[in-house]
Amino acid sequence: MARVDPSMVVEPQSCPVCQGNHWESKCESTRSYVVAQLVERPIEIVEYQLKARVCHHCGTLVGGELQDFVIPGQDKKRVPCSECWRK
């Protein structure tokens, strides 16, 4: 997976401890996942950058989460070839 089409930044939605959604301005960390996604044509390679921020209310470190349509394990080097999805 050498080519990345779009890059998506994913911020945390709410704190699991206090349900707050106000964050300290500094990003604590970023985890990147590069996955192959099926789109109309061709397959699109998307990088998701999951941001982790500190909750302003309770100080909990909370990270962004991948969407449900991103299949676990898609971020590995061995992704099926594009031939597998052609009709």
pLDDT(29) > 50: yes
Tally of domains in the chain: 1
Q: 48 in a domain, yes or no?
A: yes
Domain that holds residue 32: 7-68
Query: Is the model's pTM score more than 0.75?
Result: no
Q: For the chain, how big is the Rg over CA atoms in Å?
A: 16
Q: What is the C-alpha separation between 49 and 33, in angstroms, rounded?
A: 7
pLDDT(56) > 70: yes
- In this prediction, residues 7-16 reach a mean pLDDT of 87
pLDDT(86) > 50: no
Contact criterion met (CB below 8 Å) for 51 and 66: no
Q: 1 in a domain, yes or no?
A: no
CB environment 45-79: b (16+ within 10 A), e (fewer): bbbbebbbbbbeeeeeebebebeeebeeebbeeeb
Q: 79 in a domain, yes or no?
A: no
